[in-house]
C-alpha cells in the first residue's frame, strides 16, 4: 500500500485538514503537526489511551510521539486522570495562592538539590526566556551562548542559527526577529570544545549565560561527549557566565533529575517542561536561590502569567511524578526501550537496511546516518528527510505513529505493552524494508 492509498482511507482527516487550512496558518497550531517534514495530510485524532491514539476515522495507531514527550506514563494514565478529575471538582484556576503548586514545588526542590527555588510557567519557551532574563540581570551582561541544533523554544533571542561555518554572532532563523535581538545570541557547534573556547576568548566578558540541552533531542538525538559538556561548563564558569541546562525534554524523562542527575552536574539554572506537567501546559525555571530571588516580586526581574501554576496542571504533574518515582519508571523504561531499539537495530543490520536507531533512556531517533555516534547536525545526511518520510508513511500505513519529522525523536511510555511493541517493531521493519 502506498502512502497515497493509505491516506485516502483517512477521508475525515482530509476534510478536517481542508477546513483547518482556512482558519489556521498551515492548518495547525504548531508547525511540525502539519506533516511538512514527511508530506501528506496530517491524521486528525479523536482520542487516545495508553500507548495508542485513535484517528477521527476510527483507526488505532501505536503512538511514539506521545505529545512530543510529556506523556511518560502514556495517554490518560488512570492515576493522573483521577488527580485531574479531583482538580476539576475543586477549582481549575484561582489566579491566587493555592497549595497545589506548593506541593509540586516542594516535591521537586526536595529531590533535586540544584533547584533551590523555582517558578512555574506554562511553556518551555517561557521558562527559557525567563531564565535568560534572570541570567542577564544577575550578570549585567547581554550576550547568550547557545549551540547549533539545540532548540530552546521560540522566543526571539533563541530563534537564531550560526552564520556559515565558524562559530560567532548569529543571524535570525525566523522572519520577524530583529538583527539586534538575534545579534546578542552567539552560536557554537556542538561537540567542539575548541569552538566554545574561541567564543569565550572573544566575547567572554559579555556572555551572561551559556544555555544548552545537555541531551540535544530537538534535531535528532545528538548525544554529547561528557568532556564537551564539562569543558563548556568550565569555560563558562571561568568567564563568569552562568550555566543553564535546558531540560525541557530531558528533565524527568531520562532520570528524575534529568541530565543534571545523570552527569552529576549542578547547573546554575535549569528549565523544565513536557513531563513536568504530565501532558498539561506546565513548565518551570529554577536554580540557585540567589538567582531566583531576583525574580519579581522578590526582585527586579519581571515575569508573570495569568494561568501560571494552573491547579489542574499542578495536580497532573504531581500525580505523574509521584507515579514515576513509585513504580521506578526509569528502570522499566530503560529495559523496555533498550529491548525494542536493540531488536530493531539488529534486524536492520542483519537485513542490511540503511537505518539505525540512536537511543538514550526512553528517547529514540530513527535515522539514516551510518556513523556510530552522531553528535553534530552536519553529520546527519541530507537524504535523511526524504528517507525518513517514506518510513514514516510506511509505518503509518501499518498503524504506527512516529513523530512526523526525521529531526524529531520518539518516546517510549510506561503504557507501551509488549503486544504493542511487537506490532510496532514488525511495522517499522516492514516500512524500512519497503522505503
Ligand X SMILES: *Cc1c(COP(=O)(O)O)cnc(C)c1O
Which are the catalytic amino acids?
A: 151, 246, 274
CB of 227 to ligand X, least distance (A): 22
CB nearer to ligand X: give 131 or 420.
131
CB nearer to ligand X: give 355 or 364.
364
Asked whether position 124 contacts ligand X by CB under 6 A, the answer is yes
234: exposed, middle or buried (Cβ count in 10 Å: 0-12, 13-18, 19+): middle
CB nearer to ligand X: give 50 or 69.
69
CB nearer to ligand X: give 48 or 244.
244
How far, in Å, are 158, 297, 299 from residue 302 at the CA level?
Answer: 19, 8, 8
Asked whether position 224 contacts ligand X by CB under 6 A, the answer is no
Residue 208 phi, psi (nearest 5) = -75, -40
CA-to-CA distance for 106 and 119, rounded, in angstroms? 12
Binding mask 194-223 vs ligand X (x if CB under 6 A, - otherwise)?
Answer: -------------------x----x-----
Of 123, 310, 360, 362, the one binding ligand X (CB under 6 A) is 123
The count of C-alpha atoms lying within 13 angstroms of the C-alpha of 329, restricted to the half-sphere facing its C-beta, is: 24
Of 101, 125, 185, 232, the one binding ligand X (CB under 6 A) is 125
How far, in Å, are 174, 192, 219, 369, 385 from residue 376 at the CA level?
Answer: 21, 9, 9, 11, 16
Among candidate residues 291, 246, 295, the one with its CA nearest the CA of residue 272: 246
Binding positions for ligand X, 132-171, rule CB under 6 A? 151-153
CB nearer to ligand X: give 10 or 213.
213
CB nearer to ligand X: give 51 or 153.
153
Of 34, 105, 118, 128, the one binding ligand X (CB under 6 A) is 128
Residue 92 phi, psi (nearest 5) = -110, -5
Asked whether position 286 contacts ligand X by CB under 6 A, the answer is no
CB of 241 to ligand X, least distance (A): 19
CB of 289 to ligand X, least distance (A): 23
CA-to-CA distance for 171 and 163, rounded, in angstroms? 6
CB nearer to ligand X: give 281 or 343.
281
Three-state SS at 82: helix
CB of 219 to ligand X, least distance (A): 10
Of 149, 204, 214, 273, the one binding ligand X (CB under 6 A) is 273
Asked whether position 184 contacts ligand X by CB under 6 A, the answer is no
CB of 352 to ligand X, least distance (A): 34
Asked whether position 283 contacts ligand X by CB under 6 A, the answer is yes
Strand partners, 301: 295
Residue 325 phi, psi (nearest 5) = -70, -45
As given in the structure block, the three cell numbers for residue 265 are 552536574
CB of 5 to ligand X, least distance (A): 34
Binding mask 242-271 vs ligand X (x if CB under 6 A, - otherwise)?
Answer: ----x-xx----------------------
C-alpha of 247 from chain center? 8
State the DSSP code for 295. Answer: B
CB of 213 to ligand X, least distance (A): 5
Over the range 170-186, which residues count as b (16 or more CB within 10 Å of their CB) and which as e? Answer: bebeeeebeeeebbbbb
Which residues have C-beta within 8 Å of that of residue 301, sequence separation ≥ 6? Answer: 130, 133, 134, 137, 294, 295
Three-state SS at 358: strand
* Number of chain residues interacting with ligand X (CB under 6 A): 14
Q: Closest residue (Cβ) to ligand X? A: 124
Q: Are 186 and 170 in contact (CB under 8 A)?
A: yes
Binding site for ligand X (CB under 6 A): 123-125, 128, 151-153, 213, 218, 246, 248-249, 273, 283
Amino acid at each position: 500500500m502506498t502512502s497515497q492509498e493509505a491516506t485516502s482511507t483517512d477521508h475525515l482527516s482530509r476534510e478536517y485538514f481542508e477546513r483547518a487550512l482556512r482558519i489556521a496558518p498551515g492548518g495547525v497550531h504548531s508547525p511540525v503537526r502539519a506533516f511538512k517534514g514527511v508530506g501528506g495530510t496530517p491524521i486528525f485524532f479523536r482520542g487516545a489511551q495508553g500507548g495508542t491514539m485513535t484517528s477521527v476515522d476510527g483507526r488505532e495507531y501505536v503512538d511514539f510521539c506521545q505529545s512530543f514527550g510529556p506523556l511518560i506514563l502514556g495517554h490518560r494514565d488512570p492515576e493522573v486522570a483521577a488527580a485531574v478529575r479531583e482538580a476539576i471538582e475543586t477549582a481549575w484556576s484561582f489566579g491566587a495562592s493555592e497549595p497545589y503548586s506548593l506541593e509540586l514545588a516542594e516535591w521537586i526542590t526536595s529531590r533535586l538539590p540544584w533547584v533551590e527555588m523555582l517558578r512555574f510557567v506554562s511553556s518551555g519557551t517561557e521558562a527559557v526566556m525567563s531564565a535568560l532574563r534572570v541570567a542577564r540581570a544577575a550578570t549585567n551582561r547581554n550576550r547568550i551562548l547557545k549551540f547549533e541544533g539545540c532548540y530552546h523554544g521560540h522566543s526571539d533571542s533563541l530563534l537564531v542559527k550560526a552564520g556559515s561555518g565558524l562559530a560567532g554572532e548569529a543571524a535570525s532563523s525566523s522572519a520577524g526577529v530583529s538583527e539586534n535581538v538575534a545579534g546578542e545570541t552567539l552560536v557554537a557547534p556542538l561537540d567542539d570544545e575548541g569552538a566554545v573556547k574561541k567564543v569565550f576568548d572573544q566575547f567572554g566578558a559579555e556572555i551572561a549565560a551559556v544555555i544548552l540541552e545537555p541531551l540535544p533531542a530537538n534535531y535528532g538525538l545528538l548525544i554529547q561527549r561528557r568532556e564537551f559538556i564539562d569543558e563548556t561548563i568550565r569555560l563558562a564558569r571561568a568567564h563568569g557566565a552562568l550555566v543553564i541546562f535546558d531540560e525541557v525534554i530531558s528533565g524527568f524523562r531520562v532520570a528524575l533529575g534529568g541530565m543534571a542527575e545523570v552527569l552529576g552536574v549542578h547547573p546554575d539554572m535549569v528549565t523544565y517542561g513536557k513531563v513536568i506537567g504530565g501532558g498539561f501546559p506546565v513548565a518551570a525555571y529554577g536554580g540557585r536561590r540567589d538567582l531566583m530571588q531576583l525574580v519579581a516580586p522578590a526582585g527586579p526581574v519581571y515575569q508573570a502569567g495569568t494561568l501560571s501554576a494552573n491547579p489542574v496542571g499542578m495536580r497532573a504533574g504531581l500525580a505523574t511524578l509521584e507515579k514515576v518515582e513509585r513504580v521506578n519508571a526509569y528502570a522499566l523504561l530503560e529495559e523496555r526501550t533498550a529491548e525494542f531499539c536493540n531488536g530493531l537495530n539488529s534486524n536492520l543490520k542483519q537485513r542490511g537496511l540503511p537505518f539505525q536507531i540512536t537511543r538514550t533512556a526512553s528517547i529514540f531517533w530513527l535515522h539514516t546516518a551510518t556513523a556510530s555516534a552522531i553528535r553534530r547536525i552536519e553529520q546527519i545526511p541530507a537524504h535523511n528527510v526524504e528517507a525518513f518520510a517514506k518510513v514514516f508513511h510506511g509505518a503509518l500505513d501499518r498503524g504506527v505513529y512516529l513523530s512526523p519529522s526525521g529531526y524529531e525523536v520518539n518516546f517510549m511510555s510506561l503504557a507501551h505493552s509488549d503486544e504493542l511493541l511487537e506490532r510496532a517493531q514488525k511495522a517499522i521493519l516492514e516500512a524500512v524494508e519497503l522505503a
